[in-house]
A = this chain, B = another copy of it.
């Protein structure tokens, strides 16, 4: 399981990035009286906001791998902290639409701005082909992992 080539080293590196990222996220969460899950939820909400997609409670829970009870509790927490507002969907009154508060957007920037800055600065030193290579790798890996290639789904 030692040095088997540059590919393995890269996977290892990627794993360490995700792990380190998770730790920082947890730290950040704690610093703001939240839990890691809450930050992940915020990210989902901000992504949806960016895409213009409306997020319902159910969709959020699915995205985070929570059941409905846990999702309700999560939303309660975020609402209590003022990061979120619930709105009944008027088209389908079973649904609850979630709208992020401006303070949550700001919090998101505080959480990820520095990392974004680092990456952007880093990539400034890359030529177009190199940037493309990075994107191609991440994109391909995401696709592979997403369709069950990771975490022992038996692929």
Contact = CB atoms under 8 A, between A and B. Distances in A.
Copies of this chain, tallied across the complex: 2
Place the interface of chain A in its size category.
35 or more
A10 B123 contact: yes
Contacts of A140: 118, 122
A13 B142 contact: yes
Given A23-B65, A144-B122, A150 B10 contact: no
11 contacts: A7-B124, A10-B123, A10-B131, A15-B21, A15-B43, A21-B151, A24-B145, A24-B148, A114-B150, A122-B140, A130-B133
Contacts of A27: 65, 151, 153
Interface of A: 1-2, 5-11, 13-28, 31, 40, 43, 50, 64-65, 110-120, 122-124, 126, 129-131, 133-142, 144-146, 148-155
